[in-house]
């Protein structure tokens, strides 16, 4: 199984979100042009600044003012290094907020792929439509994990059958079956 381009870039955004220093929501963004990653960003404090993970969020009117959003960090990375964003695409773990929506439009981003709905502001949706920026919901999938989980399940089942064939104590065997069932219930 091979990841589609959309899943590949969405996986990158989910990986990048793991660098987030926001305690409220970890978000990652990947800007792509011609199927090449040109920038990435995650939500967190300014470079060298205090992080929410260290001192808590600085919330005013329901928003953390310490945090720069992932989309904005990715666009600013392009600006910092002189990389054009005109006609690029962005893959984001969550639907962009209103402010990021406006920044993406101004940066010339033409497609926004997002994995999760998150407080989708009606005006952001309206602005994207007016600017002819296509928004595409791409739920994040991990098809390779499913294949590996099936392989692991098959292997464990074979081991348990071998133990049963060796006349293992039925109570001990039952505990192994229960543990395997609990482990794989999460994966499949």
Q: Which residues contact 158 (CB under 8 A, 6 or more apart)?
A: none
Distance CA 164, CA 162 (A): 5
Distance CA 128, CA 136 (A): 11
Q: Which residues contact 76 (CB under 8 A, 6 or more apart)?
A: 41, 68
Specify the residue for token string 């991990």.
142
| Catalytic (active site) residue 178 | no
Q: Say how many C-beta atoms besides its own lie within 10 A of residue 131's C-beta.
A: 16
Specify the residue for token string 């099936």.
150
Distance CA 75, CA 30 (A): 9
Please answer whether residues 124 and 98 qualify as being in contact, where contact means their C-beta atoms are separated by less than 8 angstroms.
yes
Q: Which of 71, 126, 158, 171 is catalytic?
A: 71
Q: Phi first, then psi: give them for residue 152, nearest 5 degrees.
A: -65, -45
Active site residues: 71
């Amino acid at each position: 199984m091979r990841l589609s381009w959309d899943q590949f870039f969405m996986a990158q955004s989910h990986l990048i979100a793991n660098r987030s220093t926001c305690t409220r929501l970890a978000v990652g963004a990947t800007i792509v042009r011609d199927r090449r990653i040109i920038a990435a960003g995650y939500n967190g404090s300014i470079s060298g600044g205090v992080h929410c993970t260290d001192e808590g969020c600085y919330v005013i009117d329901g928003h953390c003012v310490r945090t720069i959003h992932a989309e904005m960090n990715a666009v600013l990375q392009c600006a910092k290094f002189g990389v054009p964003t005109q006609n690029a695409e962005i893959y984001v773990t969550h639907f962009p907020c209103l402010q990021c929506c406006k920044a993406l439009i101004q940066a010339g981003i033409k497609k926004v792929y997002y994995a999760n709905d998150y407080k989708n502001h009606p005006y952001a949706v309206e602005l994207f439509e007016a600017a002819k920026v296509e928004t595409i919901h791409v739920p994040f999938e991990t098809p390779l994990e499913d294949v590996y989980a099936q392989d692991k399940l098959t292997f464990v089942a074979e081991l348990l059958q071998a133990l049963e064939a060796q006349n293992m104590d039925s109570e001990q065997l039952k505990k192994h079956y229960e543990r395997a069932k609990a482990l794989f219930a999460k994966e499949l």
